[in-house]
A and B are shown apart, each in its own frame.
Chain A
Amino acid sequence: QKEVEQNSGPLSVPEGAIASLNCTYSDRGSQSFFWYRQYSGKSPELIMSIYSNGDKEDGRFTAQLNKASQYVSLLIRDSQPSDSATYLCAGPRGNTGKLIFGQGTTLQVKP
């Protein structure tokens, strides 16, 4: 079983719509998760972190964490073509905090 799983997509949404990106994880002890955005050929760029059950909002982005269901999601409101990228879900593991990444979901926002 993969530790962090994401649907690789592509997920295609029209400009202005809400994009919903999902991630599941296997380690019930996980306490926090991170969403990174990665443009082609570039490095991961942190969008949001979430530590508690529930929702966390930052501008157009909302992260949701459900520890009982081992599920993390990222909502992007008013999607823009510049949001087109691969979104990586990652959770830290162990004492060193190494990040375990999902495969990433490719988002395409069409004008």
Chain B
Amino acid sequence: EPEVTQTPSHQVTQMGQEVILRCVPISNHLYFYWYRQILGQKVEFLVSFYNNEISEKSEIFDDQFSVERPDGSNFTLKIRSTKLEDSAMYFCASSTRTSRSDTQYFGPGTRLTVL
């Protein structure tokens, strides 16, 4: 069964460093999302991406964040200058969004630890 994959599973970085989180969505999906979950808190939407551009972003997704689909398979989230509060699980999700099917399938996540 096709699945969303993410790398790395765990990333440790120093405050102020740049990190890139990578995702490979399910191959026939057209809509891509990043969410994050701070430990003990709910899953929060960061950004959605469709047709090679951002379709919506949350207040969390400030100028330090960017997303890119550099080729036909990868979808990346870059944090330019990490802060302590960026420590969280980051989930990539994808969907086909055909008619009423909005089902989003989540990858296993990347645990980001900022020291």
Chain A binder among B13-21, B66-74, B77-85, B105-113: B105-113
The answer to whether A43 and B102 have CB atoms under 8 Å apart is no
Those of A55-111 within 8 Å (CB) of chain B? 88, 90, 92, 94-104
Those of B94-115 within 8 Å (CB) of chain A? 95, 97, 100, 102-109, 111
Measured between C-beta atoms, what is the minimum distance from A100 to chain B in Å?
Answer: 7
A25 at interface, CB cutoff 8 A: no
Tally of B interface residues using CB under 8 Å: 28
A-side contacts of B45, CB under 8 Å: 98-100
Contact of B97 among A42, A46, A88, A97 (CB under 8 A): A97
The verdict on A46 contacting B103 (CB below 8 Å), with A94-B56, A96-B50, A99-B45 known, is yes
Measured between C-beta atoms, what is the minimum distance from A33 to chain B in Å?
Answer: 10
The answer to whether A97 and B44 have CB atoms under 8 Å apart is no
B-side contacts of A103, CB under 8 Å: 41-42
Residues of B within 8 A of A (CB): 31, 33, 35, 41-45, 48, 50, 55-56, 58, 89, 91, 93, 95, 97, 100, 102-109, 111
Residues of A within 8 A of B (CB): 31-32, 34, 36, 41-46, 49, 51, 88, 90, 92, 94-104
